[in-house]
Amino acid sequence: MTFHILADMPAEPDFDRLRAEFPVLRRKTYLNSGSYCALANDVKAAFEQYMEDRLLVGANWDVWVMKNEAVRELTAQLLNAKPEEIAVTASVSAGINALASALTFNGPRNKVVISDFEFPTNAQIWHAQEPRGAKVVHVPIAADGYIPLENFERVIDENTQLVAITHVCFRNGAKLDIPAIVKLAHARGAKVLLDSYQAAGTVDIDVKKLDVDFCVGGMLKYLLGTAGIGFLYVRESLINSLLPTHSGWFAQENITAMDITANRPAHTARRFEAGTPPVVNCYASEAGLKILLGIGTPAIEKRVEMLTRRCMERLAEIGWPSITPTQAERRGATIATPARDASGLSKELMDRDIVTSWRDKNLRASWHFYNNDQDIEAFIGAMKSLRDRYAPQ
Ligand SMILES: Cc1ncc(COP(=O)(O)O)c(C=O)c1O
């Protein structure tokens, strides 16, 4: 399948042309990519291709496996990893569970450090290990709403086995200082799991440069794919020392051996997979990842930084505060603004064809490369007209 969107792409991305490939943007101001992305024509075509293949070929196991491998390879490119270091999973939760099943917590290093910025799944799964001996400790948020390195310094110690942290917080769009936290964790003998779901696709992630040991993410949000598919990166040198008890036939060294006498896990990160791949989701995610890689994540990161900065500046001009950090290095793609009734505000914006979301007492506007200045002005115009009823007093 050839991808229409990337044909004749100039060296500098033409964001107006790219925007035209997302039909919903003709009808809506779409600021909800932190929940799920706008659908690209190429991703829609990939879903249709799946249907065609099912109708014309019926069951084509080889193509199915090939699609899973395509997602593995593209994810590896996205993260600057090797394909052998990537497990294609059904969700972030599936990846974290498989990893947790390979860890033991009965020695002195039984501590798992998470932050108070975590998405629930990356907290609940670690708390679920408590009956197995894990001691889960939270790094608290400081008075200014951020979690500085000092707070991690106080909690990560010689008993810490794993620091499991989000890259960008789903609630307020704050980005943690990952390189500094990784350095600190490694100096104290702990491994680091990065939950990149709110960053991958808008932040240029290089797992080698960041030096993380594990990284999870999913394809539904900024990776332009769909629900029901994600990934787990495992540093190559760690793979064979970890034996997941969460397993299945697609995790075996030889998938087609059909051996029911033993568990023989793959010698690659595929040992963290389980059953039949999420095939239709692989078609869609392959298309989404190709779009992102065709543009290049450094260019996307630059554009998203510009859009989020302008959005915050314009909000400040109309007197509406944001809780998202203003410094570029502390900010992801989401701008969160407090409101008297965030759910009501999001509904009113939807009535004006502006798609946002909300968490706690804050409205979330999430930006991607396909957004532009018109979207900022449409959002600010609507927020201004709703200010008297919804802005915090
Ligand atoms: C940071 C983060 N991690 C994890 C998830 C959920 O992961 P999954 O539903 O794939 O398990 C989300 C959002 O859905 C998220 O924002």
Residues of the chain with pLDDT > 70: what percent?
A: 97
Ligand 1 probe mutation, 93, 115, 197, 231, most atoms within 8 A of CB: 197
What is the distance in A from the centroid of ligand 1 to the CA of 315? Answer: 28
pLDDT in tens, 130-143: 999 999 999 999 99
117 - beta bridge partners? none
Average pLDDT over residues 207-216: 98
The answer to whether 113 touches 164, Cβ cutoff 8 Å, is yes
- pLDDT tier, 12 (very low <50, low <70, confident <90, very high otherwise): confident
**pTM for the whole thing?**
0.96
For residue 167, the model assigns a pLDDT of 98
Write down the number of H helices and E strands in the chain: 14, 12
CA distance 176 to 33: 20
> What's the 85 CA to ligand 1 centre distance in angstroms?
21
In this prediction, residues 298-321 reach a mean pLDDT of 97
Encode 3-32: b = buried (16+ Cβ within 10 Å), e = exposed. bebeeebeeebebeebbebbeebeebbbbb
Establish whether residue 228 lines the binding site of ligand 1, counting it when its CB lies within 6 angstroms of any ligand atom.
no
Q: Does residue 3 have a pLDDT over 80? A: no
